[in-house]
Structure 1
Amino acid sequence: MSKQFINDKNLQQLAVHAAIPGYDRSQVAPGIVHLGLGAFHRAHQAAYTEAVLASGDLRWGIVGVSLRQADTRNALAPQDQLYTLAIRSEQEERLQLIGALVKSLLAPEDPAAVLAAMADPRCHIVSLTVTEKGYCHDPASRALLLDHPDIVHDLARPDSPRSALGFIVHALALRKQADIAPFTVLSCDNLPSNGDTTRGLVLAFAEKVDISLAVWIAEKGAFPNAMVDRIVPKTTDTDREHIASVLGAEDAWPVMTEAFTQWVIEDKFAGPRPAWERVGVTIVSDAQPYEHAKLRMLNGSHSSLAYLGILMGYATVDQTMQDVYLPQFISGMMAQEIAPTLSRPGLDAYRTELLQRFRNPALKHQLHQIAMDGSQKMPQRLLGTIRARLAAGLGIERLCFAVAGWLRYLAGATDAGAAYELSDPLAVTLKTAATAPSDRVQALLNITAVFGSDLPADRRFVESIGRHYRRISELGTATALQQLSAELAELAGMEAEHAR
Structure 2
Amino acid sequence: MKVTTCLNPLHTALAVYGCVLGYTLIADEMKDTELNKLVHEIGPVEGMPVVTNPGILSPEAFVDEVINVRIPNPFMPDTPQRIATDTSQKVGIRYGETIKSYVAKYGDAKKLKAIPLAIAGWLRYLLGVDDQGNAFERSSDPMLETLSQQLEGITLGHPESVGDKVRPILSNANIFGSDLYADGIGDLIEDLFKEELAGPGAVRATLKKYLD
TM-score class normalised by the smaller sequence: 0.7 to 0.9
Alignment of 1:21-420 (within 5 A): 292-344=1-53, 345-355=57-67, 356-393=69-106, 395-416=111-132, 417-420=134-137
**1:424 Cα deviation from its structure 2 partner:** 0.6
One-letter identity of the residue aligned with 1:481: L
- CA offset at residue 390 of structure 1? 2.6
One-letter amino acid of the counterpart of residue 466, structure 1 = E
Query: What SS is found at the alignment partner of 2:117?
Result: helix
- Write the distance in 2 (CA, Å) between the matches of 1:397 and 1:329: 10
> Which residue, 159, 165, 187 being the options, matches 1:440?
165
Question: Contact (CA 8 Å) 2:30, 2:72: kept in 1 or not?
Answer: yes
Alignment partners' CA distance in 1, 2:171 and 2:152:
14
Structure 1, unmatched stretches of 5+, are 1-291, 487-500
Larger proportion of helix: 2
Question: Which residue identity does 1:409 align to in structure 2?
Answer: Y
Is residue 5–residue 94 contact of structure 2 (8 Å, CA) maintained in 1?
A: yes
Larger Rg: 1
Instruction: Find out whether 1:457 has 2:182 as its counterpart.
Output: yes
Partner of 1:485: 211
Q: Secondary structure at the match of 1:473?
A: coil
Question: Quick check: 1:429 aligned with 2:146?
Answer: yes
Match of 2:195 in 1: 471
Q: Distance in 1 between matches of 2:36 and 2:76?
A: 18
Q: 1:452 to 1:379 in 2, by over 3 A?
A: closer
1:96-121: CA deviation from partner (whole Å, max 9, x where unpaired): xxxxxxxxxxxxxxxxxxxxxxxxxx
Task: Return the structure number with greater strand share.
Answer: 1
Distance 2:139 2:173 in 1: 19
Aligned counterpart, 2:159? none
SS of 2:24's equivalent in the other structure is coil
Q: Partners in 2 of 1:485 and 1:379 — Cα distance?
A: 23
1:480 shift after superposition: 0.6
Query: 1:340, CA displacement in angstroms?
Result: 1.2
**TM-score, length-normalised on structure 2?**
0.84
Query: For the structure 1 residues 446 and 295, does the alpha-carbon distance in structure 2 shift closer, same or farther, using more than 3 Å as the test?
Result: closer
Deviation digits for residues 425-461 of structure 1, max 9, x if unmatched? 1111011112245323214224442135532433x21
SS state of the match for residue 325, structure 1?
A: helix
Counterpart CA distance in 2 for 1:306 and 1:428 is 19
Give deviations 1:44-95, integer Å, cap 9, x for gaps.
xxxxxxxxxxxxxxxxxxxxxxxxxxxxxxxxxxxxxxxxxxxxxxxxxxxx
User: d(CA) in 2 for partners of 1:452 and 1:327?
Assistant: 27
1:346 to 1:366, Cα distance in 2 relative to 1, 3 A? same
Quote the Cα distance in structure 2 between the aligned partners of 1:461 and 1:310: 24
User: For 2:12 and 2:202, how far apart are their aligned partners in 1?
Assistant: 18
Q: Using CA pairs below 8 Å that are at least 6 residues apart, which structure has the higher relative contact order?
A: 2
Deviations 1:7-37 (A, max 9, x none): xxxxxxxxxxxxxxxxxxxxxxxxxxxxxxx
Within 2, Cα distance between the matches of 1:428 and 1:310? 19
- Distance in 2 (CA, whole Å) between partners of 1:435 and 1:315 is 26
Indicate if the aligned counterparts of 2:93 and 2:176 stay in contact, CA closer than 8 A: no
Summarize deviations over 1:253-291 as a string: whole Å, max 9, x none.
xxxxxxxxxxxxxxxxxxxxxxxxxxxxxxxxxxxxxxx
Identity rate of aligned residues, in percent?
29
Query: Displacement of 1:320 after TM fit?
Result: 0.6
Q: CA RMSD in A?
A: 1.8
Unaligned runs of 5+ in 2: 155-162
